[in-house]
Structure 1
Amino acid sequence: MSTQTAAKTVLITGTSSGIGLAAAVATARAGWHTVATMRDTTRADALNQAAAEAGVSDLIQVKRLDVTDADSVAACVAEVVAEHGHLDAVVNNAGAGFVGTIEQHGMERVRSVMEVNFFGVVELTRAALPHLRASGGRVITVTSVGGVVGQPFNESYCAAKFAVEGFMESLAPVAATAGVQVAVVEPGAVASEFVNNVGLDIPALLAQAGPYAPPLQGYIDHALKSFGSDTAQTPEQAAAPVVDALTAEKMPFRIQTSDWARDFVGMKLADLDGSAVQTEMTNWLG
């Protein structure tokens, strides 16, 4: 890739699969120089193949970035600015799911989920902001409908995503005074990602669930149905609003990726006493 170019440059995290991979290809197709980062660059084959098929390999540069390692974050951001002369947008996409309830998993698991899904987002945003101020750039963070609606057996994950949304909602008006726009993108179910991304061993999980086994089975049945249903989006569909946000004159702060996600988030935002959400989540448990 050429260096010190005037073309816009975006850095995207978590691009080895799913929404991150799709977003990297889509931003490149839209003409952005795309720095596609991942913790393990040996997992770049799927991205490289997708880029080649889309004819955008020359616009995608794979770099290592571990969002839980401050030195890795600082080094990657510094390299991007040195090579391209500027940084115009960051897409915080890297994340990790976790299914379980607090009584049965230790605090170490809670902290590990927060490190990836929350502190990693904060670290990269902090490192990028001086350069985004210089370019009048954008911070887009892929959260989840789980950043608005707390979901059963997703306590740690939803807590981290809630934290991200609170952080970004608070940052947005401050960053705007310096010319930086901030938005969150909230996907719902994305086809095929549930078991793969969360790394579930369902029989083992149920065997260890004790008194929570029946509701956990209900939740898993619901999740598997949702992630395989007509309401589930492809990664490409979920990534499309990211590109729209990058190119819009003014981004909205909160962006849902589907009609289902808008309805689901809308239920929570209109639910002043929490009864609608509690009823819906109880129904998910069967």
Structure 2
Amino acid sequence: MTSEKTVLITGTSSGIGLAATIGAARAGWTTIATMRDTGKAEALLEAAAENDVADRIQVKRLDVVDPDSISACLEEVIAEHGRLDALVNNAGAAQVGTIEQSSLDDVRAAMEVNFFGVVATTRAALPHLRAAQGRVITVTSVGGVVGQPFNEAYCAAKFAVEGFMESLAPVAATVGVDVTVVEPGAVASEFVANLGLDVPALLAAAGPYAPALEAYIARTRQSFGNAQTPAEAAAPIIDALTADRPAFRIQTSQWARDFVATTLADLDGSAVQDLTRAWVR
């Protein structure tokens, strides 16, 4: 048992999750770093040793699409630490394609990881967070505010997460739990590399959508050339973790703030449509 505050972070083998784990540990939190495959923890453990925070980080298996895995992990955390003060929902997976050429299984898989995984983990954690007067911090995306071409399933899931958390926030506040969403833009991380996209094959199979897809890929490559580092994107997560009263919605950069403002100030949707149509011309 410990009196130190404890945070559980999902999807920590790379990218924002890894950086947030190191940041939380450096801020003094006992940090439960979870991942679907703990065999991929080497990079995290190396970073923990380099930052002299290995004693504050514990790696555990948690698969957000497996309710038994979620329950087992939380039971271990409570048994070993006696409390859970914060949950950072970070695990996610991209899905590139347009609906005519994607299967319903592809769409369901994207929703399972990016939406239902968040819902399931949050649901399981809430009794413990309520007891600790803690908080839920969920990494969404600017793609949860602005729908983006060839990201229909991914953006649908992120929009769903934003709606879920925005609806949950006032209810959770009545029992002392703060809810925050963090919206990164482009981040230079394994998340993109893990897509494993064969671009020539995608374009060859795109049929009538090939010109639009080619334009989208070119624009995306350019945006990721100016991407934030995972550490830069994770810094607002640590701010939300440690703030007295974190905001509900936080963007990770000025670019992200300017980008989502397009939708938040766009009452009839025309500005967003004008913006994203230019990406596929």
Same fold (TM over 0.5): yes
Distance 2:224 2:194 in 1: 12
DSSP 3-state at the match of 1:34: strand
CA RMSD of aligned residues (A): 0.8
What is the TM-score when the length of structure 2 is the normalising length? 0.99
Alignment partner, residue 273 of structure 1: 268
Aligned residue pair count = 281
- Using the alignment, how far apart are the partners of 1:278 and 1:259 within structure 2? 21
Q: Structure 1 counterpart of 2:98, which letter?
A: T
Deviation (angstroms), 1:203? 1.1
1:78 aligns with 2:75: yes
Instruction: Give unmatched runs, 5+ long, in structure 2.
Output: none
Q: Distance in 1 between matches of 2:267 and 2:194?
A: 32
Local SS of the residue matching 1:102: coil
CA distance in 2, matches of 1:209, 1:23: 37
Report the alpha carbon displacement of residue 224 of structure 1 after superposing the two structures with TM: 0.6
**Which whole-Å CA distance do the structure 1 matches of 2:69 and 2:230 have between them?**
27
2:93–2:191 contact (8 Å) kept in structure 1: no
- Structure 1 residue corresponding to 2:209, chosen from 200, 212, 215: 212
Q: Deviations over 1:111-156 (max 9, x none)?
A: 0000000000000000000000000000000000000000000000
- State the alpha-carbon separation in 2 of the partners of residues 25 and 192 from structure 1: 15
1:225 is matched with: 222
CA distance in 2, matches of 1:206, 1:197: 19
SS in 2 for 1:101: coil
Q: Which runs of 4+ in 1 moved over 3 A?
A: 192-195
- Of 63, 66, 85, the residue aligned with 1:66 is 63
Structure 2 residue identity aligned to 1:217: E
Task: Spell out, residue by residue over 1:23-79, the C-alpha distance to the aligned partner (whole angstroms, 9 max, x if none).
Answer: 000000000000000000000000001111001000010000000000000110111
> What is aligned with 1:123?
120
Q: What is the CA deviation profile of residues 228-283 of structure 1, one whole-angstrom value per residue up to 9, with x for unaligned ones?
A: 12xx2100000000000011110100000000000001111111111111111011
Q: Give the aligned partner of residue 91 of structure 2.
A: 94
Task: Identify the residue that residue 14 of structure 1 maps to in structure 2.
Answer: 11
Q: Give, in angstroms, the shift of residue 197 of structure 1.
A: 3.3
Alignment of 1:1-286 (within 5 A): 4-193=1-190, 195-229=192-226, 232-286=227-281
The alpha carbon displacement at 1:198 in A equals 2.5
TM superposition score normalised by structure 1: 0.97
Aligned residues of 1:192 and 1:228 also touching (Cα < 8 A): no
Q: Distance in 1 between matches of 2:43 and 2:190?
A: 15
- Checking the alignment, whether the CA contact within 8 Å between 2:15 and 2:191 is kept in structure 1 is no
C-alpha contact (below 8 Å) 1:192/1:227 kept by paired residues? no
Q: 3-state SS of the aligned residue for 1:86? A: coil
CA contact (8 A) 2:111 2:153 kept: yes
1:277 to 1:69, Cα distance in 2 relative to 1, 3 A: same
1:90 Cα deviation after fit: 0.2
